[in-house]
Amino acid sequence: MRIQWTLFAALVFALLTAIFAIVNVEPVQVNLLFGTFNVPLILLILGCTLLGALIVGSYGVYAQYRIRRKVKELEAKVAQLEAASENEYAFPEPTDVHLLEIEDVLADKRNSKDSKPE
């Protein structure tokens, strides 16, 4: 659902930019470091919008690449740890019976400490 809203917002932004560009068709003078030239404002607006979209899109691709690489590293580490844990003894989870036995042993030790003369 999030992707649909993002696509909808992008389409609305593109439509508003296109309408804004169509309204502004007068030629304007653009000053660059190496010279000046006249260009219709519609081309300047659409060109700058396209350049911004390319910059944001390339950053998104780069961020996605970094995340995928990190996921692969972590999956390899998990596989390595799982392989190492297969060689070690795994302690079973204590059951209620085991816990009761442990509590009885601890209670007996406390009672034996309390009953010793000092």
Give DSSP secondary structure letters for 25-47: -SEEEEEETTEEEEEEHHHHHHH
Q: Residue 77 and residue 90: Cα distance in Å, rounded?
A: 19
Interval 77-116: pLDDT, tens: 988 888 877 766 666 676 777 778 888 888 888 887 766 5
pTM of whole model > 0.85?
Answer: no
